Amino acid sequence: MGAWAIAVHGGAGVDPNLPLQRQEEAKQLLTRCLNLGISALNSNLSAIDVVELVVRELETDPLFNSGRGSALTEKGTVEMEASIMDGPKRRCGAVSGLTTVKNPISLARLVMEKSPHSYLAFSGAEDFARQQGVEVVDNEYFITPENVGMLKLAKEANAILFDYRIPNGCETTCGANVESPLHMNGLPISVYAPETVGCVVVDREGRCAAATSTGGLMNKMTGRIGDSPLIGSGTYACDLCGVSCTGEGEAIIRATLAREVAAVMEYKGLGLQEAVDFCIKTRLDDGKAGLIAVSKNGEVAYGFNCNGMFRGCATENGFMEVGIWE
């Protein structure tokens, strides 16, 4: 029996001026989620159960951009998406365009296990949710006042905001007034911070799993699908590893980033950290993104080429780390 390892993330690309209080809240949430995963692993829950459980927690907390607290579409509504993959046998499930499902990641799992399909979206996914009896709520449940404020700013700037939580009362100091040399997707970092969430786990049996969930881009066109629900782009797991990505969706899709990490391990024989570094360094071109990964040997790794990534990781031998910056 091997040793478990787990990593979680809350998005890559962080404003260097992020208020300390937000940083603290984020670290606390990541720590809480890690601990949840750790007790589950110590109770011998399988990797697929653990990633679902941890991502549910991240979705339920309004801090990051998934479930409650999701970024808003141009119409001011929430459309959530998620995907989950079970390394052994490479089973997968994905959902997009959810508007009432409280925990998208759980619906993605049900698609994988209870439907003949791998990916369901929009009204079809919502119907399936009702048939499965998962918890549903009004779309308003997911919308937070902060995000309503952000959407307004984004529209004023007529730009797509990737996600950013601006604490109440700071609207006057953010956006155009904050000069920041850092940009992501053409926008100043102060108005861009994708906070997709994800979790990757390898359990004691060496099984890997990965899960990713998001509300997508602030001010996105309705119907826009990003990398998070796309198997091979935002999420991937196989016998060798489990990977979850976050950042500029387009760049992640073009690089089929999650699959890439597994492919270089498989076809070039690289180790986990080497594979992660290789992909981050060479596969993203001008794109900015980050990812977390675990290998069947109980290793954990992460990498990002942008300014910061909310993350946490832990291994059975007692190593634990939560961080935002390099």
Partner 1 sequence: MGWAIALHGGAGDIPLSLPLESRQPREEALRRCLQIGVEALKAKKPSLDVVELVVRELENIPQFNAGKGSVLTNKGTVEMEASIMDGSTKNCGAVSGLKTVVNAVSLARLVMEKTPHVYLAFDGAEEFAKEQGIETADSSHFITAENVERLKQANEAHRVQLDYTQPLQNGSKEERPNANGDVQLGTVGCVSVDSYGNLAAATSTGGLVNKRVGRIGDSPIIGAGTYASELCAVSCTGKGEAILCATVARDVAAMMEFKGVPLEEAASYVIHECMPKGTAGLVAVSAAGEVAMPYNTTGMFRACATEDGYSEVAI
Distance CA 256, CA 235 (A): 9
**Cα separation values, 88 from 117, 168, 295, 296, Å:** 18, 45, 12, 10
Q: Among residues 4, 224, 31, 6, which one has the least CA distance to residue 121?
A: 224
User: Closer CB to partner 1, residue 23 or residue 132?
Assistant: 132
User: Closer CB to partner 1, residue 36 or residue 94?
Assistant: 94
Which stretches of the chain bind partner 1, using CB under 8 A? 85, 90-92, 94, 96-97, 115-128, 160, 185, 217, 220-226, 230-233, 236, 249-250, 253-256, 259-260, 263-264, 267-268, 285
User: Closer CB to partner 1, residue 32 or residue 183?
Assistant: 183
Candidate list 196, 214, 246, 256, residue with the active-site label: 196
CB of 239 to partner 1, least distance (A): 12
Beta bridge partners of 268: none
CB of 92 to partner 1, least distance (A): 5
User: Closer CB to partner 1, residue 122 or residue 277?
Assistant: 122
User: Closer CB to partner 1, residue 98 or residue 314?
Assistant: 98
The sheet carrying 300-304 orders its strands as: 235-237, 241-247, 289-295, 300-304
User: Closer CB to partner 1, residue 221 or residue 320?
Assistant: 221
Distance CA 191, CA 158 (A): 12
CA atoms within 13 A on the CB side of 119: 11
**Cα separation values, 69 from 96, 101, 150, 257, Å:** 16, 13, 12, 25
CB of 248 to partner 1, least distance (A): 10
The single residue listed with the structure tokens 């409650």 is 68
Indicate if 77 belongs to the active site: no
DSSP one-letter code for 243? E
Do residues 105 and 92 lie in contact, with contact meaning Cβ atoms separated by under 8 Å?
no
CB of 160 to partner 1, least distance (A): 6
Q: Which residues contact 169 (CB under 8 A, 6 or more apart)?
A: none
First to last CA, the chain: 33
Please provide the DSSP assignment of 112-134 as one string: HHHSS-SEEEHHHHHHHHHHHT-
User: Closer CB to partner 1, residue 89 or residue 168?
Assistant: 89
Which two tokens mark 304? 């990002």
Neighbour tally for 325: CB within 10 Å = 10
CB of 224 to partner 1, least distance (A): 5
Neighbour tally for 310: CB within 10 Å = 27
SS3 218: strand
CB of 263 to partner 1, least distance (A): 4
CB of 152 to partner 1, least distance (A): 19
Catalytic residue numbers, as ranges: 196
